[in-house]
């Protein structure tokens, strides 16, 4: 009874709210009873004032939670930032430390994102997107739609968290040889699945398909650049369902123009916060780099939808609200992002790890 009384007093400022977010969160919130204030705008230092009289801010991948934003939220006495995503590169953790706790949803559905990555590989390889539009127009020619057998080819997986591992297992099912790279290798996983960890340069030089599943940080920023592209096989396929800034997009375009990169599948983009999740079908895209990417027939761009399955969205809603409940009802911080170690911690309100 006391827990329910506490929860009903909690107000949540939910930024970047879309119709599908509202529907699923309202459904899951029936089990919690939070007072959720849905706000269509992105969170930034100017819009942060919309969280006045709230206890929690719920943010997404393209919300800007920088130093200015956090200072505004601190003045508003916001105690918790609940991310409804796994990535947190848009959060200034240094400024948030000892001011506002930050929690995330670390693993809502690795299967959803892994399956999307593989769908992009298959689409690019067999030119499914191009064939679809041809046949809709009555053009049944297959000229220019030649693909390649994935069986026997080499797939390089950069980042072997839950998503990277699922992607590797799916591609193994196609009969591909799998090379793995991770700063913290899981040798047991590799041994059990007959895969092997290698140095990054070796993976880049020997992979026919490279799929990115690592977090974005100082070490991985522009991991794919002119220098690393130069190491790759000619006509390599690059897939990115991680974070846009893992790739230097200008260097990617140069690689596409030269033919060094044969295919690119991008579910994320460096400057996506201006466009992704929005309808620009009747507007001019002023981002010259994004506009250039859209002209390549061997580039497939999706709008950060890899996570977007019924199961994943439901899990996001449940885990986000559960993170909020455990903080206010039990003084527990499930899935807090630790400023020091960059990992999920369970802490009390004084910042002590359990």
CA–CA dist 294, 124 (Å, integer): 14
Catalytic pick among 84, 101, 243, 325: 243
Does the residue 264 lie in any domain? yes
Give the range of the structural domain holding residue 89, as residue numbers without chain letter.
2-108+309-347
Query: 3-state class of 60 per DSSP?
Result: coil
**Residue 3: its pLDDT value, please?**
59
Instruction: Report, in this order, helix, strand and coil percent for the chain, each rounded to 5.
Output: 40, 20, 45
Q: What are the pLDDT digits (tens) for 43-81?
A: 999 999 999 999 999 999 989 999 999 999 999 999 999
**Residue 275: its pLDDT value, please?**
87
| DSSP bridge partners of 65 | 91
Q: What is the number of domains present in the chain?
A: 2
On whether both 173 and 248 belong to a single domain, the answer is yes
On whether both 329 and 293 belong to a single domain, the answer is no
Closest by CA to 83, choosing from 324, 354, 267, is 324
Catalytic pick among 104, 304, 318, 325: 304
Q: Check the CA dihedral 216-218-221-225 and report its sign.
A: negative
**Residue 1: its pLDDT value, please?**
41
On whether both 272 and 168 belong to a single domain, the answer is yes
On whether both 97 and 60 belong to a single domain, the answer is yes
**pLDDT confidence bin for 2, thresholds 50/70/90:** very low
**pLDDT confidence bin for 274, thresholds 50/70/90:** confident
**pLDDT confidence bin for 313, thresholds 50/70/90:** very high
pLDDT above 60 for 349:
no
Return the minimum-mean-pLDDT range out of 55-59, 106-110, 151-155. 106-110
Does the residue 354 lie in any domain? no
- For residue 267, what is the domain's CATH number? 3.40.50.720
pLDDT above 90 for 345:
no
pTM, to two decimals: 0.86
- Cβ distance 257 to 249 under 8 Å? no
Query: 3-state class of 291 per DSSP?
Result: helix
pLDDT above 50 for 352:
no
Q: Establish whether 243 is a catalytic residue.
A: yes
Q: Establish whether 213 is a catalytic residue.
A: no
Closest by CA to 149, choosing from 174, 185, 128, 113, is 174
Catalytic pick among 116, 166, 213, 272: 272
The residue with greater pLDDT, 128 or 278, is 128
| DSSP bridge partners of 237 | 209, 263
On whether both 237 and 287 belong to a single domain, the answer is yes
On whether both 127 and 246 belong to a single domain, the answer is yes
pLDDT above 50 for 353:
no
What's 305's DSSP letter?
-
b or e along 261-288 (b: 16 or more beta carbons within 10 Å of the residue's beta carbon)?
Answer: bbbbbbbbbbebbebbeeeeeeeeeebe
CA–CA dist 255, 18 (Å, integer): 36
On whether both 175 and 282 belong to a single domain, the answer is yes
On whether both 140 and 222 belong to a single domain, the answer is yes
Q: Establish whether 272 is a catalytic residue.
A: yes
Mean pLDDT, all residues of the chain: 92
On whether both 160 and 91 belong to a single domain, the answer is no
On whether both 56 and 199 belong to a single domain, the answer is no
**Residue 6: its pLDDT value, please?**
60
- Cβ distance 128 to 103 under 8 Å? no
**Residue 170: its pLDDT value, please?**
98
On whether both 333 and 279 belong to a single domain, the answer is no
On whether both 269 and 317 belong to a single domain, the answer is no
Distance separating the N- and C-terminal Cα atoms of the chain: 26
């Amino acid at each position: 009874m006391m827990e329910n009384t506490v929860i009903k007093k909690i107000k949540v400022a939910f930024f970047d709210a879309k119709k599908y977010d509202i529907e699923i969160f309202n459904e899951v919130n029936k089990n919690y009873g939070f007072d959720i204030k849905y706000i269509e705008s992105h969170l930034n230092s100017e819009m942060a004032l919309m969280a006045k009289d709230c206890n929690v801010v719920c943010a997404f991948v393209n919300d800007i939670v920088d130093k200015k934003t956090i200072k505004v939220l601190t003045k508003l006495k916001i105690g918790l930032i609940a991310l409804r995503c796994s990535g947190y590169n848009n959060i200034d953790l240094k400024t948030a430390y000892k001011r506002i706790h930050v929690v995330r949803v670390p693993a809502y559905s690795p299967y959803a994102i892994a399956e999307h990555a593989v769908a992009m590989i298959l689409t690019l390889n067999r030119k499914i997107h191009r064939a679809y539009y041809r046949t809709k127009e009555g053009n049944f020619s297959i000229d220019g739609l030649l693909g390649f057998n994935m069986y026997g080819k080499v797939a390089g997986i950069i980042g072997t968290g839950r998503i990277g591992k699922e992607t590797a297992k799916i591609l193994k099912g196609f009969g591909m040889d799998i090379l793995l790279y991770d700063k913290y290798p899981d040798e047991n996983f590799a041994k059990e699945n007959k895969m092997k960890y290698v140095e990054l340069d070796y993976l880049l030089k020997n992979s026919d398909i490279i799929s990115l599943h690592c977090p974005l940080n100082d070490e991985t920023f522009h991991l794919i650049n002119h220098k690393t592209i130069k190491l790759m096989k000619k006509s390599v396929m690059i897939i990115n369902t991680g974070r846009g800034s893992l790739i230097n997009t200008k260097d990617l375009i140069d690689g596409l123009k030269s033919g060094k990169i044969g295919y690119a599948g991008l579910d994320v983009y460096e400057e996506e916060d201006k466009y992704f999740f929005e309808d620009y079908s009747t507007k001019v895209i002023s981002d010259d780099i994004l506009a250039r990417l859209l002209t390549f027939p061997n580039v497939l761009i999706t709008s950060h939808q890899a996570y977007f399955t019924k199961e994943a969205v439901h899990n996001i809603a449940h885990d986000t609200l559960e993170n909020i409940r455990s903080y206010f009802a039990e003084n527990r911080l499930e899935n807090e992002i630790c400023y020091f170690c960059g990992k999920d911690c369970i802490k009390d309100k004084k910042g002590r790890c359990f």
